[in-house]
A and B are shown apart, each in its own frame.
Chain A
């Protein structure tokens, strides 16, 4: 019996999301009175694998295969399945990001494991195995019993705190065999955002809606985000109008995010928008309409015109920073 975690790397490095996952798995292992193993696929920078031990991982299995560079869902699934079987994993944990969503259902089928997708806290009980997860795009939660002896969980980003442990992981580097010809995905081109904080990784997000009135008015909003070390985002009408790139659209059909602080500026707060940001720990709303639904989701608000308030807010923040 063990808890297995798949740890993805980004250009050879792990990030906060990885350590959230690992902390989460270590805690489940503790609840189940067992150990936890991480599986990492592909080349990582020296020292990265050791970091996993600092968050409670007992053993790291590093798959070195040179043929597993691009994500091929079938090949990755086959490898993680083999390790899960070898480690006799009864819980397999992945991130609820694009890669996790691509792999978790495939792995679950191979293991005949029920899946708890997008969980944001520890299981409510181990026997029976019950998890709580968001349903109806965050408008409700469901307590879900996973009936199978093996379970697959995907953990929502920024929902579990890091727990450091005085622990060193053993590291085992291996190559694995899989069915020849299994890799069918050929990557032709990669486009990566550089130099900016990723929206999904950001702890502070400053987001603008139609109330910003035009693409030309984004200056002070971007400035506020920069001052706070955060990322910028927008509502759907804004990306549909082409005022901001589609990658910035947060909401039910765009990116689902869970930052510590979310500024909704000139956003009325339609159900579909709130569905994408309702897991934010704090929401600040700035809107001219005091009855806008966004104030129901927010902890702090200012009723007023964003174009007048934003410059003052930037100024006030600068002043408080210079103190």
Chain B
């Protein structure tokens, strides 16, 4: 069985974002780039599955659409434990463009399970995984919070509004994962970092594909009014404000 983990390269989640060029472009000065948190959880779960020989996982590949600048992030995924990597050498224009590029790679060399994080912490679209599965014409399960292999089949838990469902499904499948899929993301070991240096990153050139959306410009959120502090000895005043000023209770 072969697993593909799709990874996105995102600014560290604590980054204070700023924009330049008339609010048209992210100011990349001083940004730390990391593996998108949900993709890191996916990769960790894939590695946990491979750790158990009974699961018969031959290989874990990571795939990424991005320019050469993302290689440190890919290298980190290899250090965490992926066997090899594919980088499609293109700036990710939009979700549809990214999904199309990944499809080309997957069609050339099919996988049994394709992991995607439920969203990326930069554009928060929750779209690439679903698009990818439809383009491939294969099933997808979304909001997956657990995934295991049992008797040759895949068992997943997915979140639904107000609960969860346990589902089984055939391969190939796209698993779109969220929190809960594993406890903590795996951290690269010193040995992993050394080994990652000699693992292959296969670069492929993009095919001509459309993008369907375009960001015209960014906006910063309006600053909130200063916080109104209430005397800790008089919480009744807070109730009064919520009832008569905010009118929310």
A135 lies within 8 A of B218 (CB): yes
Chain B interface SS verdict (over half): mixed
Using C-beta atoms within 8 Å of the partner chain, give the interface range for chain B. 35 or more
Contacts of B13 in A (CB 8 A): 137, 252, 271-272, 275
Contacts of B159 in A (CB 8 A): 98
Give chain B interface residues in 124-179, CB to chain A under 8 Å. 124-131, 133-135, 139-143, 155, 158-170, 176, 178-179
Q: Give the tally of cross-chain contacts (CB within 8 A).
A: 264
Bound: A113/B131 CA distance, A: 11
Contacts of A249 in B (CB 8 A): 179
B246 lies within 8 A of A299 (CB): yes
Central interface residue in B17, B19, B240, by most chain A CB within 10 Å: B17
The yes or no answer to A170 lying at the interface (CB within 8 A) is: no
The yes or no answer to B54 lying at the interface (CB within 8 A) is: no
The yes or no answer to A215 lying at the interface (CB within 8 A) is: no
Bound: A130/B219 CA distance, A: 14
Stretch touching chain A among B73-81, B93-101, B193-201: B93-101
A188 lies within 8 A of B166 (CB): yes
A97 to chain B, nearest CB (A): 6
Bound: A254/B228 CA distance, A: 28
The yes or no answer to A285 lying at the interface (CB within 8 A) is: yes
Bound: A301/B225 CA distance, A: 12
Central interface residue in B11, B158, B230, B243, by most chain A CB within 10 Å: B230
B239 lies within 8 A of A317 (CB): yes
Residues of chain A at the chain B interface (Cβ within 8 Å): 10, 70-74, 77, 96-99, 101-110, 112-118, 130, 132-148, 184-193, 198, 200-201, 204, 228, 246, 249, 252-254, 260-261, 270-272, 275, 278, 281-282, 284-285, 295-304, 308-309, 312-313, 316-317, 319-320
- What are 22 pairs between A and B in contact, CB < 8 Å? A97-B161, A98-B142, A105-B126, A115-B95, A137-B124, A139-B221, A140-B219, A142-B123, A143-B216, A143-B218, A148-B212, A186-B168, A188-B166, A191-B165, A192-B163, A299-B228, A300-B246, A302-B231, A308-B232, A313-B238, A316-B235, A320-B236
